[in-house]
Structure 1
Amino acid sequence: MLKVNAGSDTRFAAVSRILLPGLVFQSVIVGGGYGTGREIAEFFLGHGPVGGLLGMLVACLVWGLVLSVAFEFARITKSYNYRDFFQQLLGRFWSLFEVIYLLIALLVLAVLGAGAGEMASSALGVSNDVGALTLMLAVSALVYFGSKAIERVLAMWSVLLYLVYAFFLIWIVSAFGQDIGHQLGAGEVTGNWTLDGVRYAAYNLNALAAVLFVLPALKTRKQAIGSGFLAGVIGIVPGIFVFIAMLAQYPQITQMPVPVTSLLQSLNALWFMLIFQIVLFGTFIETGTGIIHSINERIASVLAEKQQAFNPNRRLLLAVCILLVAVFLAGKVGIINLIASGYGLLSYGFIVVVLLPLLTYGVWRIIRYRGDEAE
């Protein structure tokens, strides 16, 4: 009996290792990627109901391919923060990634601040600043407690989000299934949905930097590649849930600052709106925490080389400074303008600096690696 239990524990640990990076990846992208529905409206709904779904499948394939290569590249080079990872991938040009990453990190944090402000204003009737500042305090507190706490919170909240989003979709379909079916049945496909699928996937790969700290648990090539492809699927499924739900109010929903809020109001259920918005606010916290933690880990690696500690107080101070700038930016620009003007441009930078090097030089390094044979 003891042997069976031990075997079960071993299998559970192996499955957990493979799933954890995908859960963390999904946790980090949800707030800046599709938590509000605004990003889905910007990148996918403009291509029509069917065209948008095709674009999301393209994004899933890109994530699965790139993350599988990235996870294995991190494993063989033992690069578990973005400084080490991109020094291995880009050599002396690695700082190009850092510039783009810091820009998109600030942009995503600003979007989160704007989204949190919109949610607080519509749900509670308070100033937008209240929601943004609440987000800032929650992220700062979680960053203070470090990697283990972040890993546990991101994984658990990701599972909770799946459950709530699935229930949300079922309810929307039961209430507005005829409208959704009509939109899908029309078969509308417009524009270059393939390109927007790649662009959407590219800018969301900023989350790779936030996932690296959990990758030491992947011990073999099979685990790393399998975990990468699973991460692509885990990442896109809640987004597809939101996309299908948004078809209930298509096309007018494309102009809403926070489309998900409009859908919740249509259900006329205050209790579920409260639960959903709490979960959604939690995803904003997850995304903000993952981004700032990746920056902290990069700084910690430099200080470690100098035999200096990056203590929790320093981590907290950096988090507060970054979030203050992001909240200011959110208040000045607004969520629609932030997404429309910022995400698209920076996505091309990620294609050049992340996708192309990983799928060429990164694959070449992986093919040549013989370390597993020597162990």
Structure 2
Amino acid sequence: MEKKKGFFEGSFGKFVLPGIILQSVMIGGGYATGREIVEYGAKYGALGWLSGLGTFLGFAVIAALTYELIRLTKAYDFKTFMKTIGGPLWIVFDIVYLLFMVVIIAVMASATGNIVEQTLGLNYWVGVVAITVVVAILNFYGSRLIERFETLGTVALYAGYIIFSVLVIGTFGKNISTVFANHDTSFIGGSVSAGKALWSGVLYCAYNLVVMPATFFTIERQTRRVESVVSGIIGGVLATIPWFLTYFAVMCFYPNPDVLGASVPWLAMMQGTAGPVVIAIFGIVMGWTLIETSTGIIHAALERVNNGLKEAHKPPMTGKQQAILTIIVLVGSMVLSKVGIIDLIATVYNALSYAFLAIYVLPLITVGVYKIFKLRKAEKEEQKKHAVSATQKHAV
């Protein structure tokens, strides 16, 4: 008798889980502070929604192509995947990924320290140490715990974002219609084209591709093209909903520099609309997003290391070794976190966006697409052979 599949092994695991992991890992680096949405969309005011559209299209297309190629090649870690589309250039992706991993976790550490300090009244380093301990524990126990932690986290985080957005928009929402009626783009001090706003969304998607390898291990469940495509689109939708919630919340204050110029715009908006209890809950929810991002990014790096050990015919890291390596990465990021959120995002993120476009997106839409068509043709021929063989066997 065939064993009944668990919830995570059925349709949920095939269609929805990759998108949930994508969104949950991205949300801390992409949305927790609100700073990123200002830099890559909200600063354009009435045209900012085009940045959100660019982000959605970018994630949906790239995720669908990535998942289909992984399904066909069984490249479940990013070294194997990058070898598939980039050949010997995989080492460049390794370097950029590891660099960006440290930078984005530095942003997370800085944001956690600031949010915990301002919402709960605790010392800056309490939040930073807390994220280190929790992320180390999650990577000690590995993939299955991370899947469940981030699935539950997504439900809680969406509830939180919806509540916070309703509070802000419900109080100051009249300004949104004013911004669009006046075609207001005044925060950037000049006119902006629709194309520039759309391209900003593409860049936002590009730098967030650092989270894509964190989803690779979930693709092992997929067996059909429809699962790859649909899960990619779902990933794009899940990754973009918080973007638009944050964008419209910021539009309630546009072009107020006290909000759009804040290190943590979400906190600036919440302090004007909610009491201390809600602010404290906000701090806890944001801390959770930062844990999810750091966990997912480091987990992908650990999978990469374990694959390298396997290729060298050595045993994979133990849970204890994974936790220790996690702490080392986090401590390095803590030191970098003192640079500050705005400086890190403004100076480093753009450069890394173009790096990911060059070493990930370009090879994927050229070499990757060619290999998908080639492998799909071989897969169809194999399926036909099995069908003919089954028919003949049945006839006998």
Q: What TM-score bracket applies, with the shorter chain setting the length? A: over 0.9
Q: 1:40 aligned to 37, 40, 62, which one? A: 37
Deviation readout 1:32-75 (Å, 9 max, x if unpaired)? 11111010111112222x21111111111011011100000111
Residue 22 (structure 2) pairs with residue 25 (structure 1) = yes
Task: Give the aligned length.
Answer: 367
SS across alignment from 2:272:
helix
Q: Name the Cα RMSD after superposition.
A: 1.8
Q: Following TM superposition, by how much is the alpha carbon of 1:121 offset from its aligned partner in structure 2, in angstroms?
A: 1.6
Q: Whole-Å Cα distance in 2 between the matches of residues 24 and 11 of structure 1?
A: 12
Deviation readout 1:143-197 (Å, 9 max, x if unpaired)? 1111100011111111221122112222222111112222232223525112211
Q: Whole-Å Cα distance in 2 between the matches of residues 150 and 177 of structure 1?
A: 37
Q: Following TM superposition, by how much is the alpha carbon of 1:271 offset from its aligned partner in structure 2, in angstroms?
A: 2.2
For residue 140 of structure 2, what is the aligned residue in structure 1? 144
Q: Whole-Å Cα distance in 2 between the matches of residues 264 and 194 of structure 1?
A: 28
Distance 1:12 1:353, change over 3 A: closer
Distance 1:100 1:12, change over 3 A: closer
Q: Whole-Å Cα distance in 2 between the matches of residues 267 and 55 of structure 1?
A: 26
Q: Check conservation: 2:167, 2:274, Cα contact below 8 A.
A: no
Deviation readout 1:109-151 (Å, 9 max, x if unpaired)? 0000000011122123333222111111111111111110001
Residue 294 (structure 2) pairs with residue 294 (structure 1) = no
Q: Following TM superposition, by how much is the alpha carbon of 1:25 offset from its aligned partner in structure 2, in angstroms?
A: 0.2
For residue 184 of structure 1, what is the aligned residue in structure 2? 180
Residue 320 (structure 2) pairs with residue 313 (structure 1) = yes
Deviation readout 1:334-362 (Å, 9 max, x if unpaired)? 11101111100110000011111111111
Higher alpha-carbon Rg: 2
Q: Whole-Å Cα distance in 2 between the matches of residues 272 and 218 of structure 1?
A: 40
1:112-191 matched pairs, under 5 angstroms: 112-189=108-185, 190-191=192-193
Using structure 2 for the length normalisation, give the TM-score.
0.89
For residue 202 of structure 1, what is the aligned residue in structure 2? 206
Which sections of structure 2, spanning at least 5 residues, go unmatched?
186-191, 384-396
For residue 81 of structure 2, what is the aligned residue in structure 1? 85
Distance 1:323 1:162, change over 3 A: same
State the percentage of identical aligned residues: 32
For residue 355 of structure 2, what is the aligned residue in structure 1? 349
For residue 3 of structure 1, what is the aligned residue in structure 2? none
Q: 1:335 aligned to 335, 341, 344, which one? A: 341
Q: 1:371 aligned to 379, 387, 391, which one? A: 379
Q: 2:279 aligned to 253, 258, 273, which one? A: 273
SS across alignment from 1:79:
coil
For residue 188 of structure 2, what is the aligned residue in structure 1? none
Greater CA drift, 349-358 or 165-174: 165-174
Deviation readout 1:188-216 (Å, 9 max, x if unpaired)? 35251122111111010111111101111
Residue 251 (structure 2) pairs with residue 247 (structure 1) = yes
Q: Whole-Å Cα distance in 1 between the matches of residues 183 and 151 of structure 2?
A: 36
Which sections of structure 1, spanning at least 5 residues, go unmatched?
1-5
Distance 1:373 1:273, change over 3 A: farther
Using structure 1 for the length normalisation, give the TM-score.
0.94
Q: Check conservation: 2:165, 2:249, Cα contact below 8 A.
A: yes
Q: Whole-Å Cα distance in 2 between the matches of residues 137 and 78 of structure 1?
A: 32
Q: Whole-Å Cα distance in 2 between the matches of residues 280 and 328 of structure 1?
A: 21
Q: Following TM superposition, by how much is the alpha carbon of 1:11 offset from its aligned partner in structure 2, in angstroms?
A: 12
Equivalent position amino acid for 2:357 in 1: I
For residue 388 of structure 2, what is the aligned residue in structure 1? none
Equivalent position amino acid for 2:349 in 1: Y
For residue 389 of structure 2, what is the aligned residue in structure 1? none
For residue 226 of structure 1, what is the aligned residue in structure 2? 230
